[in-house]
Amino acid sequence: QSALTQPPSASGSPGQSVTISCTGTSSDIGAYNSVSWYQKHPGRAPKLMIYEVTKRPSGVPDRFSGSRSGSTASLTVSGLQAEDEADYFCSSYVPGSSSPYVFGTGTRVTV
């Protein structure tokens, strides 16, 4: 299972929006409602931001939203804040695969 493709970087000014894409195939992102997104600050634990494509865990601001079109998932961060500056990784669960969890290449968001 190959890594999902994300742009290396994205940026926006405070208050603006940024959208990160995560491109897979019809065998992973396009096949299952099992896309999740994680935020990673240097030296800190990864944090779940979105699960099952669009669902937001309690405690995650509603500025974060997820979507999918075909084999591409997206994470949108609206109303950018300084603390949103981090690395973001997508992930897809692929049951029956030799590697059931595949991650994206990661996107550094700069505010």
* Contact call for residues 86 and 39 (beta carbons, < 8 A): yes
User: Smallest distance from the beta carbon of 91 to another protein, in angstroms?
Assistant: 7
* Three-class DSSP labels, 71-82: CEEEEEECCCCH
Q: Enter the tokens of residue 97.
A: 């695969």
Is residue 105 part of the contact set for another protein (CB under 8 A)?
yes
- Out of 46, 56, 71, 72, point to the residue binding another protein (CB under 8 A): 46
| Residue tagged 């240097």 (tokens) | 42
Per CB under 8 A, residues contacting another protein are: 3, 32, 34, 36, 38, 43-48, 51-52, 57, 89, 91, 93, 95, 98-106
